[in-house]
Structure 1
Amino acid sequence: MGECIFCRIVSGEIPAKKIYEDDLVLAFHDINPVAPVHFLVIPKAHVASMAELNAEHEAVMGRVMTVAARLAREQGATDGFRTIINTGRVGRQEVYHLHVHVIGGPDVLPAMLKR
């Protein structure tokens, strides 16, 4: 955990452009946005990936999702947005601290996956 970049952001060791923080979660702008609205919502407690979730995480993950929805609207994604949780190597997870990408903006999102 000491090397986890998101844990270091939570602790204040690394700065981030925060948009929300409470006792359970932190939301901040993505440093390489792919759309006009692109931020992350993370649990403050270290959970490496969605694959590690269990019943003890229900409250924090409920908070993550409700904060994501509210902030998406507040940040300007009023006509819809996408949430992405990359999980594990095959899921293309790059930072092993569970995080939800919230991405939106006017007509900027491509199709989900190519068929």
Structure 2
Amino acid sequence: MSNETIFDKIIARQIPADIVYEDELSLAFRDINPQAPFHVLVIPKTAIATINDINADNAHLVGHLYVVAAKLAKEYGFAEEGYRVVMNCNEHGGQTVYHIHLHVLAGKAMGWPPYQDKKKVVV
């Protein structure tokens, strides 16, 4: 049984993606279901399944993903007005591909919290 993900296939060029950035450690491509006018995923070329699997040996890759996110925001003109960077973890965190990735979203004002239940919450 293989743990290969769709991201591994994108890295290997087995399936197409709209790649906007690549270096020796990472790859960035447009999300196929964008949630903002600019929505790219930044992934490490080394597979790490979840945030829970980040350790001292691979932590440098996570920092690198953020450096790439900032570089893309500057290159595409969103650095000054702002952007959001999100990494989900496991099912309840919204993770659907088990290969860590940053969502870089920009091009519109982002609200907080990102999701609000229509029911009034009483604390």
Superposed pair shares fold, TM > 0.5: yes
Amino acid at match of 1:36: P
* Structural RMSD (CA): 1.5
- Quote the Cα distance in structure 2 between the aligned partners of 1:112 and 1:81: 15
The reply to whether residue 5 of structure 1 matches residue 9 of structure 2 is: no
Gaps (5+ residues) in structure 2?
A: none
- Quote the Cα distance in structure 2 between the aligned partners of 1:2 and 1:88: 15
The reply to whether residue 26 of structure 1 matches residue 27 of structure 2 is: yes
Stretch moving more, 74-83 or 28-37? 74-83
Could you list the per-position Cα deviations for residues 11-35 of structure 1 after superposition, in whole angstroms to 9, with x for gaps in the alignment? 1101110011111000001011111
Q: How does 1:26-45 map to 2 (within 5 A)?
A: 26-45=27-46
Gaps (5+ residues) in structure 1?
A: none
- Equivalences, count: 114
Report what 1:83 is aligned to.
Answer: 85
Amino acid at match of 1:94: T
Give 1:74 shift: 1.6
Give 1:91 shift: 0.6
Report what 1:101 is aligned to.
Answer: 103
Report what 1:61 is aligned to.
Answer: 62
TM-score (norm 2): 0.85
The structure with more radius of gyration? 2
Give 1:58 shift: 2.3
- Quote the Cα distance in structure 1 between the aligned partners of 2:97 and 2:3: 13
